[in-house]
A and B are shown apart, each in its own frame.
Chain A
Amino acid sequence: MSCQLKGREEKAGSGVRGRARSSSPGTGDRSRRRPSRKQPPRAERVAGRRGAQPSQKERAEGSPRPGSPRRKQAEHQRLREDLGKPGRSSTKRTCEGRRKRDGRASLKEQRQRAPPKKEKEALRKETRKRPKKHRSPSLASSTSGGESLSEEELARILEQLEDKKKLIATMRNKPWPMAKKLRELREAQEFVEKYEGALGKGKGKRLYAYRMLVAKKWVKFKRDFDNFKTQCIPWEMKIKDIGHFGSSVASYFIFLRWMYGVNLVLFGLIFGLVIIPEVLMGVPYGSIPRKTVPRAEEEKAMDFSVLWDFEGYIKYSALFYGYYNNQRTIGWLRYRLPMAYFMVGVSVFGYSLMIVIRSMASNTQGSTSEGENANFTFSFKMFTSWDYLIGNSETADNKYVSITTSFKESIVDEQESNKEENIHLTRFLRVLANFLIICCLCGSGYLIYFVVKRSQEFSKMQNVSWYERNEVEIVMSLLGMFCPPLFETIATLENYHPRIGLKWQLGRIFALFLGNLYTFLLALMDDVHLKLSNEETIKNITHWTLFNYYNSSGWNESVPRPPLHPADVPRGSCWETAVGIEFMRLTVSDMLVTYITILLGDFLRACFVRFMNYCWCWDLEAGFPSYAEFDISGNVLGLIFNQGMIWMGSFYAPGLVGINVLRLLTSMYFQCWAVMSSNVPHERVFKASRSSNFYMGLLLLVLFLSLLPVAYTIMSLPPSFDCGPFSGKNRMYDVIQETIENDFPTFLGKIFVFLANPGLIIPAILLMFLAIYYLNSVSKSLSRANAQLRKKIQALREVEKSHKSVTGRTTGRDSEDTAQGTSQNATQLPLTKEGMTPHSASQTQTPDKKAEDPGTFGSASGTTLPASQGLSVARPTGFRPDSGHARPQTHPWRSASGKSAQTSPH
């Protein structure tokens, strides 16, 4: 037994030696084990075959074998001396084990000699593998060792093995210096290495080894993949640089990057499944009316001013809805484009919804419940207020100031927490401020409605000026630019705490943007309805024109007329493309306004302040203009609303997502540059993490709100009769029905019809409601239990406080003693942790001994006893503080809880 284990150790040693000599790492378990069983023949053969091979390897292989008994014994003796235990039986066992093993080996030898062909094959394999193997010979001992382990030993080793593995896995969580971690890791790894192979049995061994190999490869692959993944994340260094401004500014850029990732996926979806198939396989440009610029627009269709408004050739391109044909299948792939268009439109929303909710959930998982924060206001300010990412001295100074003010504020709050002065004035001012802001909101809404209406007037007229054409976008951008500062000015009336003030401000900007967007949409809807009502007459005109064209007299009857040129066919005003163009223009103008604001408001201002400061009456840097701050909340909201427009518009303008990807990419670089060059860090540095889910919530809301109009148009408006992939259908979603009817077997169609039956849908919805209700009640009860537990802890603390004060008054010396004791215990806590490791180290040795020598079990247990004693000594000192608390607490606390239970109903 012992010699087997020793042999294994030795083999590991020889393996290392062998590797050191020829620098070839370890060989497989499988390959090592098999040869070891039929070692004698192979040794002869190989020696014969490779007579000219370097003798070094032979030495490496051969040396352990002749020397093994001797070395084993020597090592054993050393070990015995170390442990101070008698080893009479062990030497005997060594020999026994050797004999047994030899016998077994020879038996196997014979068995394997029987089929010569097989053997030869195996041999060939081995000779091929041979150069890599150096540890194989001594393996014979280890393989037979596993079988003679008794059950409980096996179980114990298994347990320890698991412990060690766990230790290896969690090594990085240990607060030790690296050298210690390395040492521990090496010990644990040696242990695992030593015993892992011994655990499988017989035939299972190979499988076990194989499984281990696969598991290890998998771990390695996973780590490499993780490395690769982190390498692929763009802008890591850029964001790190920005991190010197504090984590909140960095969090905006992380959000921007996340948004970019989402948009890339959406872009891939739309581009790969809709635009590319259409371009490659669809009918080419100019072949049908919807893909041709009408005769009236032809001459100006390539002008830049026209293209800039997304008219002309761009309007009749694959970027917009109207370009797509309603052919059911296109190309030799018989690609079902209308179906793909519809499904992509749906999956854009599906994917966005999924990813937003997932990231929200992962955000909430990390944070604990916010309800219990109130207990630790001072401690949080003290221990967690420094942002270690700050690497910029200006930011650090700002941070010092803000921390100091927050300390002072909280001290003052604490001192006069319930002092209320002139509450009526405050209330009046707040009502006034809200009134003013609501007026602003209504005004901006009406302005937008008015402007959109006017633009519809303009669109009917000829030769309108540039301003009149772009009035809507300009007005919306200006509102977005000037209203937030106005709100901020009004908000100073309210005198809220800055954090609450920020929330209000965000809410108001959100309301403004949302109101603007929805007024815009409503006005657009009016326009769409107008166009739809005109559609019938246009349809008649088209039919009439075509009819007249083909049936008019004065044409030679014998020659068939050439078909009417597609540019000449009268057509409807494709409302889907019009909507898409509106969103496209809005996005582009929004982008331009953002960039111009950065350039003028930030960069030029910074330049002015920096260079005019030498020759100015007052200090510009400290005084009025100073440098601009980076407005995180405004930028995040802008990003969210921009994304909302993308979601809404992407169904009608598949190219919109591409534009947005470009926009995000440029704004990443541009805003980075602006922050680094011309902004100063925020004076009120807010924590980023707290509001990240708030922003995500806003994003979700915007996603939902942008889903509504799209769903409305898909479900209840008829598509244009002569443009787009759904033309000729009554509703857009008819495309699904069509596909089911034509492409699926009939029974599937029946199943779909059955599923769409209200008799089935209503119960399903009911079931969902029930599930929601159930989960809601479960979570409520859980949170109630949580609150109760918290109350218990609080009561416990209260009681303890009073207890302490009483005892402190009565027996000062006593309490001093306990205090000393607890502090001592506290200092011992790390010590005991340190103490645990030698103990665990000794534990790693004990199995060696035990496994080595079941005969001397008693003595082995004798050696383990001190270790366990050490544990039992270590544990009380480490754990006494807790138990010491628990004991005096239990009784008072019970009474306290009883009291609270009595008082709570009242």
Chain B
Amino acid sequence: MGGSGSRLSKELLAEYQVRGTPVPGEFARGPALASGVPGRAAGRVRPPGGPLNPSRFAFQELTFLTKQEILLAHKRFCELLPQEHRSVEESLQIRVSLEQILSLPELKANPFKERICRVFSTSPARDSLSFEDFLDLLSVFSDTATPDIKSHYAFRIFDFDDDGTLNREDLSQLVNCLTGQGEDTRLSASEMKQLIDNILEESDIDRDGTINLSEFQHVISRSPDFASSFKIVL
């Protein structure tokens, strides 16, 4: 597996180097850039179904990840795939089911793992992740992502019913996630009510009984250690 994995990543790397260069102002591109690259591109296996998207591999432009991280992500993603679908082209098309993603050690212990996957999934049923979705996830949770985008996605993760606001049900579900599954760590109903009342008292600026995105970001932007803890490293 290790050998084939490295071969895959080399191909991806070649792809990335051909396509990943920023296209803006193609006008001004010098002839020097052309040297050497075509050979590698020509050696690449072309997928049967139509030409590749020219800027498909501009991932670095689109994410906060470095080249190594993208390659590592691809390797890890391929490991989740069945053996016969591990070629570069197929791995970029195929989707991985939620259960497989949740089995990653990085997500295993996370109480929000299912929410995270659902938020980042682009499939209609929200139950599978493509490689692009996976990269999106890693980008948001990377070290260099801005606090703004982190808090945006945190809001969507905490918004359990996807209605655009955090209402009392969302908050109580959030508390249950944070306190774990054991009986001894659960909060009683009165404690829960007290807690949610206090939270709404603090954060619900417009007093509508729910926390919306801007209120949430207002609170989060003042937290000294949100950005450092909202982080997943592959």
Q: Which residues of A contact B (CB under 8 A)?
A: 12, 15-16, 20, 22-31, 129, 132, 165, 168, 171-175, 177-179, 181-182, 185-186, 188-189, 192-193, 196-197, 208-210, 212-213, 216-217, 219-220, 223, 226-227, 230-231, 240, 243-244, 247, 366-368, 370, 372-373, 375-380, 382-393, 395-397, 400-401, 403-404, 407-408, 410-411, 414-415, 687-690, 797, 800-801, 804, 818-819, 822-823, 826-827, 829-830, 881, 885
Q: Known contacts A209-B28, A827-B163: does B22 contact A414 (CB below 8 Å)?
A: no
B94 at the interface (CB under 8 A from A): no
Q: Which residues of B contact A829 (CB under 8 A)?
A: 164, 212-214
**Smallest distance from the beta carbon of A32 to chain B beta carbons, Å?**
8
Q: Choose, from B3-11, B76-84, B202-210, the stretch at the interface.
A: B202-210
Q: Which residues of A contact B208 (CB under 8 A)?
A: 818-819, 822-823
B48 at the interface (CB under 8 A from A): no
Closest A residue to B205 by beta carbon equals: A797
Q: Which residues of A contact B185 (CB under 8 A)?
A: 400-401, 404
**Smallest distance from the beta carbon of B68 to chain A beta carbons, Å?**
6
Bound-state CA distance A390–B105 (Å) is 10
Q: Is the CB of A389 within 8 A of B231?
A: yes
Q: Is the CB of A408 within 8 A of B187?
A: yes
Q: Is the CB of B33 within 8 A of A25?
A: yes
**Smallest distance from the beta carbon of B40 to chain A beta carbons, Å?**
10
Instruction: Label chain A's interface by main secondary structure.
Output: helix
Q: Is the CB of B62 within 8 A of A388?
A: no
Number of interface residues of B (CB under 8 A): 106
Q: Which residues of B contact A20 (CB under 8 A)?
A: 51
Q: Which residues of A contact B120 (CB under 8 A)?
A: 177
Q: Is the CB of B27 within 8 A of A826?
A: no
Q: Is the CB of B28 within 8 A of A407?
A: no
Q: Known contacts A193-B24, A386-B178: does B41 contact A23 (CB below 8 Å)?
A: yes
Q: Known contacts A25-B38, A26-B33, A403-B179: does B152 contact A175 (CB below 8 Å)?
A: yes
Interface residues of B in 119-142 (CB under 8 A from A): 120, 122, 132-133, 135-136, 139, 141
Q: Which residues of A contact B195 (CB under 8 A)?
A: 378, 382, 407, 411
Q: Known contacts A24-B38, A384-B220, A885-B206: does B165 contact A182 (CB below 8 Å)?
A: no
A-B contact pairs, 13 of them (CB 8 A): A23-B38, A25-B38, A168-B22, A171-B61, A196-B28, A383-B158, A384-B230, A385-B229, A386-B229, A390-B109, A391-B107, A689-B225, A804-B207
Bound-state CA distance A383–B229 (Å) is 11
Contact of A175 among B61, B149, B220, B224 (CB under 8 A): B149
Closest A residue to B44 by beta carbon equals: A23
Most interface-central of B27, B41, B107, B202 (chain A CB within 10 A):
B27
Contact of B23 among A171, A177, A193 (CB under 8 A): A193
**Smallest distance from the beta carbon of B185 to chain A beta carbons, Å?**
4
**Smallest distance from the beta carbon of B85 to chain A beta carbons, Å?**
19
Per CB-CB distance, the 9 closest pairs between chain A and chain B, nearest first, are A400-B180, A178-B132, A826-B212, A212-B28, A396-B109, A28-B30, A197-B27, A827-B164, A819-B208
Q: Is the CB of B28 within 8 A of A172?
A: no
Q: Which residues of A contact B233 (CB under 8 A)?
A: 240, 243, 389
Closest B residue to A405 by beta carbon equals: B185
Closest A residue to B37 by beta carbon equals: A25
Q: Known contacts A389-B233, A404-B180: does B31 contact A27 (CB below 8 Å)?
A: yes
**Smallest distance from the beta carbon of B231 to chain A beta carbons, Å?**
6
Q: Which residues of A contact B224 (CB under 8 A)?
A: 367-368, 370, 373, 689-690
Q: Known contacts A240-B233, A690-B225: does B22 contact A193 (CB below 8 Å)?
A: no
Q: Which residues of B contact A366 (CB under 8 A)?
A: 227
Bound-state CA distance A630–B163 (Å) is 43
**Smallest distance from the beta carbon of A582 to chain B beta carbons, Å?**
40
Q: Which residues of B contact A223 (CB under 8 A)?
A: 60
Interface residues of B in 144-174 (CB under 8 A from A): 145-146, 148-149, 152-154, 158, 163-165, 171, 174
Bound-state CA distance A172–B146 (Å) is 9
Bound-state CA distance A819–B200 (Å) is 15
Extra A-B contacts (18), CB below 8 Å, given A24-B38, A368-B224, A377-B202: A25-B18, A25-B29, A27-B30, A29-B29, A185-B55, A188-B24, A219-B22, A223-B60, A243-B233, A370-B224, A373-B223, A383-B223, A390-B110, A391-B107, A688-B228, A827-B163, A829-B164, A829-B212
